[in-house]
Amino acid sequence: MKVKNAMQAFPFIEPHEDENVKAYHPGMTMRDQFAMTAMLGMFRYWDENPDLEFEHIADCSYDMADAMIKRRKA
C-alpha cells in the first residue's frame, strides 16, 4: 500500500540576498524518511543473514514506512 500525498520531511526556504526571491525546497517525503530509518534497523538482520537481498530490505522498509504513516494518522 503506497501512501499518497505524504507530508514532507525537512522542507525549507532558502535565504536569498533579494528578500523578494524565495526558493522553496520540499525536502524528502516523510515516507522516505521513515523508510530510511526502518532500513537502518533492518541491516542488523542482514548481518545475521547475508542471503537477504537488498531489494527485500528496501521493500520491507517502505512497508514499514507505510504502516508508520497509517498509524500516525489514526
Owning domain of residue 67: 28-74
| 7 occurs within a structural domain | no
For 19-59, write each residue's pLDDT tens digit: 776 777 777 888 898 999 999 888 777 778 888 888 988 99
- Measured between alpha carbons, how far is residue 16 from residues 11, 23, 24, 49, 59 in Å? 16, 8, 11, 49, 39
Within 10 A of 22 (CB to CB), how many other CB atoms are there? Answer: 10
**Number of domains comprising the chain:** 1
For 4-15, write each residue's pLDDT tens digit: 555 677 777 777
- Look up the pTM and report it: 0.64
Strand partners, 12: 25
| 18 occurs within a structural domain | no
